[in-house]
Amino acid sequence: MKPPFKLDAHPRRPRPLLSEPPADYFDKLPMHIMTRLPRAEAPGTAAGGRWLAWLSPALRTGLASVAVLGGFAASFYLSGPPAAGSASAATASLDAVPRTELVGYLLTSGARVETTDLAVLTAANPGLANGFLQATEDELTEALDAQPSEDLTYLL
């Protein structure tokens, strides 16, 4: 078995004394290193970008912002209006279905259409029910009066 290692039992080697750096060594060190680096041409001094160096930083930032926003606006302008063909095709296919069949579908329990949905629809289009609802005004009033309602919004 090895004896345990104790640092205090080992003598230290004497350290050599360090000499002091020359005066202003650390002040001159960055410039000394920079002079030894190879010089590369700055990217702003290329033939096409020299005029940008003459502009103030605020003007360069504004110019960049205008270029980005102009590109964004141009992309919206060039994309054109949305395709109206898909909306007209859906409307045309819905117009081909008879209204009695549509009303029958909406009144089935599986459609999950509530009376508030129909009330909003008829409020937007008051003459919508005239084409498929054949009832006199007295019959409609009697049917509406028979309906229990807590919300007076649709009764006025």
Tens digit of pLDDT for each residue in 6-58? 888 888 877 776 778 888 999 999 999 999 988 776 554 556 667 778 889 99
155 sits in which H/E element: none
Q: Which residue has the tokens 């296919």?
A: 93
Cα 7 to Cα 64: distance, rounded to the nearest angstrom: 65
d(C-alpha 16, C-alpha 82), whole Å: 82
Helix (H, G, I), strand (E, B) or coil at 94: helix
**pLDDT tens figures, 94-150:** 788 888 888 777 777 666 767 777 777 777 777 776 766 677 889 888 888 887 777
Separation CA 156–CA 152 (nearest Å) = 7
CA distance 62 to 56: 10
